[in-house]
Amino acid sequence: MVGQVREVDVLIVGAGFAGMYAIHRLRGLGFSIRAIEKGDDVGGTWYWNRYPGARCDIESMSYSYSFSDELQQEWRWSHRYATQPEILRYARHVADKFDLRRDIQFGTQVTDATYDESAAKWAVTTDRGERFLARFLIMATGCLSVPKKVDVPGLDSFAGDVFHTADWPREGVDFTGRRVGIIGTGSSGIQSIPLIAQAAEYLTVFQRTANFSVPAWNAPMSDDKVAAMKRDYASLRRKSRNSYAGDYAEEAILTIMDLSPEDREAAFEKCWQQGGFNIQYFFTDVMESAEANRLAADFVRRKIRATVRDPKVAELLCPRDHPLGAKRLCVDTGYYETYNRDNVTLVDIHGDPIQSITPDGLKTGKASYSFDTLVLATGFDAFTGALQRIEITGRQGRKLSAAWADGATAYLGMAVAGFPNMFIVTGPGSPSVLANVLLAGEQHVEWISTLIDHARAQQIGEIEAEPAAQEGWARQVWQDADRTLYPRAQSWYIGANVPGKPHVFLAYVAGFKAYCDQCDEIARQGYAGFRLRMNAAA
């Protein structure tokens, strides 16, 4: 098709969970569509992140599509938290069931997208030289899809294998007999470290920042439990839609600072025993009061000390430089226990930073460490990485990179002033990563497709966020965040993990329900904050 221009109503970039649903939804509304996907199959983040231990940390019955009751009734999740292979199987099942692949072009990257103001269309080019013209552009590119550039000197000199958790070999890695070094102790590191330690001859973990992690207590789902939840699925989904985190887990009902020391300890212990994010979401004040947060953090630190036998190692694993939850809480299976193994060493690279990677290991200021395999669990250029890989040019030749030079903002976390007819699914300023991102993506797809459908019916040719609405939204996102402890960490939520990235709070912290209610109200008001221009011909 090189040379020809293919015209569609909607071009969707990405065939992860959000892109897949966008295909299904827009096709159902009668739009012509094409989706472009870099991977060779559907699944997005679950296609790329195949490292050992990769699994969701929101319960699978919740972290799954809600749009089709038939789908949610027929699919059987094996465990409370499904593994990456199971989630990828689910994505493939969805693609088959809804016949999505016929509209997806795999193994292709969009390289640039330019808005043609006279035609009110996006001209899109791929790395295969194909060209598309689309009335609407939907960026379903994911919040955590581009690994951040690894800023460790000497990486190229390493003689052994280097694996990044977010770009794991399709065929897997056999760690038998290997001496492994791993850099990074965020969620990816914390999930993979226990399994790499079990398989490898020796594992050295290089930790710059200790993170809070809580147990998953993952287990198979019994038939009775699954059946009971499926009978009640509609109300579980309603509860999720009306919750803070887009989940059916219990909502915050206790205030730590109102509890006696005994009741507090009992409540923390209950959260710990339930596992998952409860300790963060079960209390009204844990993300708002520094003292309440310290009490919760102290509880987790006591758990770490009770688990890790070597007191020095336990102290190193105790996070001290950020409030619990202000860097994303990790959910693990046997993470702290792993440091009781004889074949695992924890190295503090905060006190003694890495100087360089060497051919057979790495050097810090004070010591050298040797290993033959290096695993990078060093995270992502969150929210903006995937969008900034594409040369996106809006009205009057303005680049998205220029529009976001002082920080990424988008009205409702989905539309950028100066970039008409382009929508970002779970973009900067949306609840996305602070909620159940699967449901957050569904809500965006439904809202955006309803707006596009409305535009077609009303002969509206251009939809564009108003600059004032976008600024107001950015202010609200920041003010909401500023009332919490979230900004008190140097986290990827504010872009702090990528050198030079402007710091703005990138997620909407006021909760999924509050966000959805605002979106609904804006739609009721005729899409307030959007400039809707009629077709030239209308």
Q: Residue with CB nearest ligand N01? A: 186
CA triple 279-276-327, angle to 5 deg: 65
Q: What is the CB neighbour count within 10 angstroms for residue 185?
A: 23
Considering only CA atoms, which of 76, 96, 110, 90 is closest in space to residue 17?
A: 90
Give least dist CB 513 to ligand N01, A: 21
Give least dist CB 208 to ligand N01, A: 3
Considering only CA atoms, which of 432, 427, 385, 420 is closest in space to residue 38?
A: 385
Give the integer Cα–Cα distance in Å for 326 and 489: 6
Give least dist CB 254 to ligand N01, A: 25
Label the pairing between strands 5-13 and 33-36: parallel
Which residues share a beta bridge with 344? 203
Per CB under 6 A, residues contacting ligand N01 are: 56-57, 144, 151-152, 183-189, 191, 208-209, 328, 331, 349, 354, 377-380, 433, 492, 497
Nearer to ligand N01, 11 or 56 (CB): 56
Residue linked to tokens 């709070």: 505
Give least dist CB 386 to ligand N01, A: 14
Give least dist CB 172 to ligand N01, A: 17
Nearer to ligand N01, 349 or 445 (CB): 349
Give the integer Cα–Cα distance in Å for 168 and 371: 19
Detail the DSSP E strand segments found in 417-509: 422-424, 460-465
Nearer to ligand N01, 221 or 460 (CB): 221
- Number of residues written out for the chain: 538
- CB 33 within 8 Å of CB 12: yes
Give least dist CB 183 to ligand N01, A: 5
- CB 369 within 8 Å of CB 362: yes
Give least dist CB 154 to ligand N01, A: 12
- CB 40 within 8 Å of CB 65: no
Give the integer Cα–Cα distance in Å for 375 and 210: 17
Give least dist CB 243 to ligand N01, A: 18
Q: What is the CB neighbour count within 10 angstroms for residue 159?
A: 10
Give least dist CB 378 to ligand N01, A: 4
What type of residue sits at position 2?
V
Give least dist CB 499 to ligand N01, A: 9
Give least dist CB 339 to ligand N01, A: 15
Nearer to ligand N01, 8 or 279 (CB): 279
Residue linked to tokens 């791929």: 126
Give Cα separations from 33 to 134, 136, 439, 459 (angstroms). Answer: 9, 10, 22, 19
Nearer to ligand N01, 26 or 143 (CB): 143
- Residue 330, Ramachandran bin (φ over 0: left; ψ between -120 and 50: alpha; else beta): beta
Nearer to ligand N01, 193 or 415 (CB): 193
Give least dist CB 46 to ligand N01, A: 9
Give the integer Cα–Cα distance in Å for 538 and 535: 5
Give Cα separations from 90 to 9, 40, 46, 169, 208 (angstroms). Answer: 28, 16, 10, 20, 35
Nearer to ligand N01, 186 or 420 (CB): 186
- Distance, first Cα to last Cα, the chain: 32
Give Cα separations from 174 to 177, 364, 378 (angstroms). Answer: 9, 28, 21
Nearer to ligand N01, 31 or 63 (CB): 63
- CB 440 within 8 Å of CB 460: no
- Give the distance, in angstroms, between the CA of residue 190 and the centroid of all CA atoms in the same chain: 16
Helix (H) / strand (E) containing 12: strand 5-13
